[in-house]
């Protein structure tokens, strides 16, 4: 009996050593990839609550480590009703999560964890996702605030609140996480597809199905993987089916993750992260701006408490806002010009004044006399009757309208430059 146990333990040890060797090789391969560039990628992790996003981030971080798993982002923080209590966007940089100084020399990715995206494809969710992808949602920002802004002011309110924010965390890559043990969040997947893949700035999307250990039916997990990948357009190299570091896995192993790493979980995670960190997998049209005409299609505001989301559908054709904008500016200019002209019109008949001055001129010449006050007035008759005011008035209107047009672009440029 003792002989059997020791050989079982030996097999387990050999397996561990093999996995450890594979892990070392995977880290080396990953670092060769990371050596090809200098700035860490910003990698956002999105998915509905409870699917294992935070656990996945902690698992990835453990896979980078040679010591032990450590909690870097909070897992499973739900209140009594099942709702997640925290809705913050959390950024975790390599300086915060790497143990070794040697590794800190490589651009290991910045991981972005967030809660607040339910399984919806509403305009509200898509709009919030745009702000996340464009880096307008800063570290520790409460995503629930965005939902409240939407409730009070609709999409317009959200745009006023977020478009003026400084760009701090522009996302280079998105990992969509779902659970292999639950129903796929098809609405949120549709929203991600539309915003990340179909708008001007195209973000590389990766997919992770967690909780492989809970999935006891192989056929089901295969068909789930197929649906997940085809819905998000994921090729094999952009997909991972995994088990995260979690209580269930600890129980199964009879060990605890805070004392060690599990190389058998690390190897697939590392191999996946090597794809995520590949310099060649990058954003298309990275400089496209959010306010471009194609990116936002304003829709009539719904009451978000009663609104039920329509089934996923293709986005409506983009509206070319530029012609509408120019017409709106022209109309505004016209209204200002008419108002100013009306305000500045003197409260007397200008033509009578011109006639009176002509008579005064004639008489003062023939009778050889002059009244300085009246002469001055008649010399500036154009100013008084406003005729010569038209050119400066028009210039004034053009400048005001021009500033309306140019100032928001200057402000956004200053924000981007970090001023």
Ligand X SMILES: Nc1nc2c(ncn2[C@@H]2O[C@H](COP(=O)(O)OP(=O)(O)O)[C@@H](O)[C@H]2O)c(=O)[nH]1
Provide the binding-site residues for ligand X, judged by CB under 6 A. 47, 49-55, 75-76, 84, 210-211, 213-214, 243-244, 246-248
Nearer to ligand X, 143 or 296 (CB): 143
Q: How does DSSP assign 60-128, residue by residue?
A: HHHHH-SS----SS----B-TTS-BS--BEEEE-HHHH---HHHHTS-PPEEEEE----S---HHHHHH
Interacting partner of 238 out of Mg ion, ligand X, none (Cβ under 5 to 8 A depending on kind): none
CB 60, min distance to Mg ion, A: 14
Nearer to ligand X, 34 or 128 (CB): 128
Nearer to ligand X, 55 or 187 (CB): 55
CB 307, min distance to ligand X, A: 24
Nearer to ligand X, 246 or 296 (CB): 246
Q: Are the C-beta atoms of 243 and 211 separated by less than 8 Å?
A: yes
Q: Which stretch binds Mg ion (CB under 5 A): 28-36, 54-62, 198-206, 280-288?
A: 54-62
Q: How does DSSP assign 250-288, residue by residue?
A: HHHHTS-GGG---HHHHHHHHHHHHHHT-TTS--BSTT-
CB 249, min distance to ligand X, A: 6
Interface residue with Mg ion among 23, 26, 46, 54 (CB under 5 A) is 54
CB 139, min distance to Mg ion, A: 15
Residue nearest to ligand X (CB): 52
Helical axes 263-276 vs 2-34, angle rounded to 10°:
20
Residue 132's CB is within 10 A of a number of other CB atoms, namely 26
Nearer to Mg ion, 59 or 103 (CB): 59
Site for Mg ion in 34-53 (CB under 5 A): 53
Residue 353's CB is within 10 A of a number of other CB atoms, namely 16
User: Does residue 307 sit in helix, strand or coil?
Assistant: coil
Residue nearest to Mg ion (CB): 54
Q: Are the C-beta atoms of 207 and 229 separated by less than 8 Å?
A: yes
DSSP 238: G
Q: Is 210 in the site for Mg ion (CB under 5 A)?
A: no
Q: Is 122 in the site for Mg ion (CB under 5 A)?
A: no
Interacting partner of 213 out of Mg ion, ligand X, none (Cβ under 5 to 8 A depending on kind): ligand X
Question: In whole angstroms, how far apart are CA 229 and each of 125, 156, 194, 240?
Answer: 21, 34, 15, 10
Q: Are the C-beta atoms of 172 and 283 separated by less than 8 Å?
A: yes
CB 211, min distance to ligand X, A: 4
Per-residue tokens: 174: 């998105």
Interacting partner of 103 out of Mg ion, ligand X, none (Cβ under 5 to 8 A depending on kind): none
DSSP 292: S
Nearer to ligand X, 96 or 404 (CB): 96
Q: Is 103 in the site for Mg ion (CB under 5 A)?
A: no
Nearer to ligand X, 76 or 382 (CB): 76
Q: What are phi and psi of 142, to 5 degrees?
A: -85, 115
Q: How does DSSP assign 121-150, residue by residue?
A: --HHHHHHHHHHHTT-S-TT-BHHHHHHHH
CB 85, min distance to ligand X, A: 11
Nearer to Mg ion, 53 or 201 (CB): 53
CB 182, min distance to ligand X, A: 10
Per CB under 5 A, residues contacting Mg ion are 53-54
């Amino acid at each position: 009996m003792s002989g059997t146990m020791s050989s079982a333990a030996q097999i387990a040890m050999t397996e561990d050593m093999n996995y450890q060797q594979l892990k070392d090789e995977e880290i080396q391969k990953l670092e060769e990839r990371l050596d090809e560039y200098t700035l860490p990628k910003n990698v956002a992790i999105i998915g509905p609550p409870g699917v294992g996003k935070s656990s996945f981030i902690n698992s990835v971080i453990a896979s980078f480590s040679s010591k032990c798993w450590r909690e870097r982002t909070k897992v499973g923080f739900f209140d009594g009703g099942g709702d997640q209590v925290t809705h913050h966007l959390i950024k975790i940089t390599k300086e915060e999560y790497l143990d070794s100084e040697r590794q800190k020399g490589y651009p290991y990715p910045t991981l972005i964890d967030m809660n607040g995206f339910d399984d919806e494809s509403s305009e509200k969710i898509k709009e919030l996702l745009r702000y996340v992808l464009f880096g307008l949602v800063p570290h520790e920002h409460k995503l629930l605030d965005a939902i409240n802004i939407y409730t009070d002011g609709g999409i317009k309110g959200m745009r006023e609140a977020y478009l003026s924010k400084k760009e701090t965390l522009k996302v280079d890559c998105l990992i969509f996480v779902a659970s292999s043990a639950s129903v796929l969040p098809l609405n949120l997947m549709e929203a991600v597809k539309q915003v990340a893949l179909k708008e001007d700035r195209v973000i590389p999307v990766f997919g992770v199905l967690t909780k492989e250990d809970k999935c006891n039916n192989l056929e089901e997990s295969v068909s789930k993987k197929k649906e997940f990948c085809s819905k998000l357009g994921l090729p094999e190299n952009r997909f991972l089916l995994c088990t995260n570091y979690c209580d269930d896995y600890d129980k199964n192993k009879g060990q605890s993750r805070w004392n060690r790493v599990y190389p058998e979980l690390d190897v697939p995670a590392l191999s996946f992260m090597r794809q995520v960190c590949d310099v060649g997998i990058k954003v298309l049209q990275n400089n496209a701006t959010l306010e471009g005409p194609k990116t936002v299609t304003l829709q009539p505001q719904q009451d978000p408490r009663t609104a039920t989301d329509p089934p996923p559908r293709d986005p409506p054709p983009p509206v070319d806002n530029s012609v509408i904008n120019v017409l709106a500016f022209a109309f505004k200019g016209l209204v200002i010009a008419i108002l100013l002209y009306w305000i500045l019109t003197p409260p007397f008949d200008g033509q009578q004044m011109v006639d009176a001055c002509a008579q005064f001129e004639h008489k003062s010449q023939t009778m050889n006399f002059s009244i300085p006050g009246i002469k001055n007035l008649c010399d500036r008759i154009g100013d008084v009757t406003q005729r010569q005011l038209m050119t400066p008035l028009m210039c004034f209107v053009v400048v005001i309208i021009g500033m309306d047009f140019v100032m928001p672009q200057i402000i956004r440029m200053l924000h981007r430059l970090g001023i």
